[in-house]
Amino acid sequence: MPSIADTVELLQSLENTGIVVEPTRCAVVRNRNASCRKCADACTSHAIVIEPESNAIRIEPENCVGCGTCTTACPTGALEARKPSDVALAEAAQAACSANEGTAVIACAPMYEAAKDLVDSSRLVRVGCLGRVEEGLIVSLAAHGATRVRLVCADCASCAQSHGIDMAETVVANANLLLELWGSDVRAKITPKFPSSVRKVRKDAYDSHRRAFFHDLGSEARDAVGVATDMALEKELGIESKTRLSPTQILAKLRVTDHGTLPHAVPAKRRRLLDALDALGKPADELASTRLFGQVVIDACACTACGMCAVFCPTGALTNEVDRDFNTLVHYPGACVQCRTCEDVCMKDCLSLSDEVFVRDVADGRVERYDLSASAQNANDHSLFGAAKRMIGGNIHD
Ligand code: SF4
Ligand code: SF4
C-alpha cells in the first residue's frame, strides 16, 4: 500500500487544466483506512484506477481527458472542475436556458460536435461528458426558472468515455427525487435528441450576421465569466494557492486543530446544492435515499466515545462536544457527504452510515445529538481498570 505522501503525490499528478486537486480533503489522504474510491469507480478514461491486489489508487495522468466526471463523484471536494468551474458552468447553463425559453439543454461533446451546424449554440451548453453534471446544477436551474432540463448524449455505448453515462443516470435520478420532494415539477431527462427549440432557424443574411455578432458577444462574456470565476475558484474552494506544494507541506496542513480534529471543509458544491434547494422552498417530511446525504447511526452501548469519527470526518458533519459533564457526538446530515470515513475509522464497529435521511432535517439544518457521556465514563472506567491491572502486574480478578 502506498504511503500517505505517495497518495498525495499521486493525486497531485491528476491536477491539470481540467481538474483542481486539494489533497487535504481526500478521505484516503486524511486516513489511509478510508475505503473511498469513488473517483476511480467513476473515471471514464482509466486515468484513476484501483489496484486489484492492494485496493490502492493508481493514477495515470496521461489518460485523463479532463471530462470532470471524477469531480462529480468525489464527495469531499478533493477534486473540483475548472474550465469551466461549477460556477461558470451554472452561469452559462442559466444564460442558455433563458435564451431557450426555459428549457435547459446540456449536451456532451460528441453529440454537440455531430450536430453543431444544426443547433443554436447560444441555447445550450456543452460538457466533455454528461458525467460532469451534478445534482446542484440541475436543482439550481430548476430553482432559477428552468421548466425542464435535458441532458443530450450521443451513442454512449460506442463512446470512449461510455462509463460517464452511469454517473449521469445516478445524478439525474437523485436530482429528480430531490425536485419531487421539494415540490418542483421540473424534471431532468437524458435523451439522444436535441429539443426542437435549439434547432437553428434559417434567417436572412443580415439577421444571421446580427445574431452571430450577439452570439460572439455572449461567448466572450461567458469566457470572461469563466476566466474570472477560474481566478475566484481557488478562493471559493478555500484553496490557498495554485503553487504546487510538496507532499510534506500538504501533510503539514493536516494537523489537528484546536477543536481536536483535522481541518474541515464543506465542499462548495454542497453549499450550492443546499442554497438551490432552499430557493425551491420546504421539502416534504419524508425519508429519501440518495448518494448525497448520510445519517450516522451509533450503537451507544459499544461506543467508547473515542471521537475518531469526528477527528477524520472531512466536512465537519460529525463533531464532538466535550465538557466536564457531557460528551456528545453531533451529526448534521446536510453536511454529510457519504464518504464513509467515519465507518472506516471506527475501531469498535459501532458506527454505521445510512443513505436514508429525512430531507426536512437537511433543509432545516437539524442535527442528531448522541449523548455518549455514559460511554465515555465506561471507557474511563476501563482505562482505570487497565491502568490498575498494569500497576499490580496481573489479572485484577485473581
Ligand atoms: S475523497 Fe475524492 S479524491 Fe479521495 S478517494 Fe474519494 S473520490 Fe477519490
Ligand atoms: S459523517 Fe461520516 S460519511 Fe458523513 S461526511 Fe463525515 S465522515 Fe463522511
Task: Show the ligand 2 pocket: residues with CB < 6 angstroms.
Answer: 294, 296, 313-315, 317-318, 336-342, 353
Closest alpha carbon to 309 in 317, 337, 301, 36: 317
- Diameter over CA atoms, the chain: 101
- For the record, the C-alpha cell of 123 comes out as 441555447
Residues 6+ away with beta carbon under 8 Å from 46: 60, 63
- Decide: pTM greater than 0.75: yes
Ligand nearest to the CA of 320: 2
Ligand 2 centroid from CA 213, angstroms: 49
pLDDT of amino acid 253: 74
Q: What is the pLDDT of residues 10-32, one digit of tens each?
A: 788 887 768 889 999 999 999 98
Ligand 2 centroid from CA 124, angstroms: 36
The kind and range of the H/E element at 132 are none
Ligand nearest to the CA of 262: 2
Indicate if ligand 1 lies below 6 Å from the C-beta of 74.
yes
Q: How far apart are CA 341 and CA 255, in angstroms?
A: 17
Mutate to test the pocket of ligand 1, among 37, 38, 55, 80 (most ligand atoms within 8 A of CB): 38
pLDDT of amino acid 214: 39
Q: Are 357 and 392 within 8 A, CB to CB?
A: no
Residues of the chain with pLDDT below 50 are: 204-230, 240-241, 381-398
pLDDT of amino acid 386: 39
pLDDT of amino acid 16: 73
Q: What is the CA radius of gyration of the chain?
A: 24
Distances (CA, A) of 99 to 102, 189, 197, 218, 219: 8, 19, 10, 11, 13
Task: Give the number of other CB atoms < 10 A from CB of residue 355.
Answer: 15
For residue 312, give the ligand 2 atom closest to its CA: 7
For residue 21, give the ligand 1 atom closest to its CA: 3
Ligand 2 centroid from CA 332, angstroms: 9
For residue 337, give the ligand 2 atom closest to its CA: 5
Residue nearest to atom 4 of ligand 1 (CA): 26
Pairing of strands 125-127, 148-152: unpaired
Ligand 1 centroid from CA 36, angstroms: 6
Ligand nearest to the CA of 270: 2
Query: Omega of the bond prior to 314 within 30 degrees of 0, cis?
Result: no
Q: How far apart are CA 316 and CA 326, in angstroms?
A: 19
Q: What does 73-118 look like in DSSP terms, one character per residue?
A: H-SSSSEEETTTTHHHHHHHHHHHHHHTTTEEEEEEHHHHHHHTTT
Q: What is the pLDDT of residues 132-155, one digit of tens each?
A: 999 999 999 999 999 999 999 988
Q: What is the pLDDT of residues 190-214, one digit of tens each?
A: 999 999 999 987 554 444 444 443 3
Beta-strand (E) ranges in the chain? 19-21, 48-50, 57-59, 79-81, 103-108, 125-127, 148-152, 188-191, 287-289, 295-298, 318-322, 327-331, 351-354, 356-358, 368-371
Residue nearest to atom 7 of ligand 2 (CA): 313
- For the record, the C-alpha cell of 256 comes out as 489537528
- For the record, the C-alpha cell of 170 comes out as 445516478
Distances (CA, A) of 297 to 233, 294, 357, 382: 35, 10, 11, 24
Q: What does 299-317 look like in DSSP terms, one character per residue?
A: -TTT-----HHHHH-SSSS
Ligand 1 centroid from CA 2, angstroms: 15
Indicate if ligand 1 lies below 6 Å from the C-beta of 340.
no
CA 66 to chain centroid, in Å, comes to 16
Task: Give the number of other CB atoms < 10 A from CB of residue 247.
Answer: 19
Residue nearest to atom 2 of ligand 2 (CA): 342
Grid-cell match 443513505, residue found = 355
Grid-cell match 448534521, residue found = 332
Q: Which residues of 124-135 are buried (b: 16+ CB within 10 A; e: fewer)?
A: bbbbbbbbbbbb
Residue nearest to atom 8 of ligand 2 (CA): 339
Indicate if ligand 1 lies below 6 Å from the C-beta of 28.
yes
pLDDT of amino acid 390: 39
Ligand nearest to the CA of 311: 2
Indicate if ligand 1 lies below 6 Å from the C-beta of 115.
no
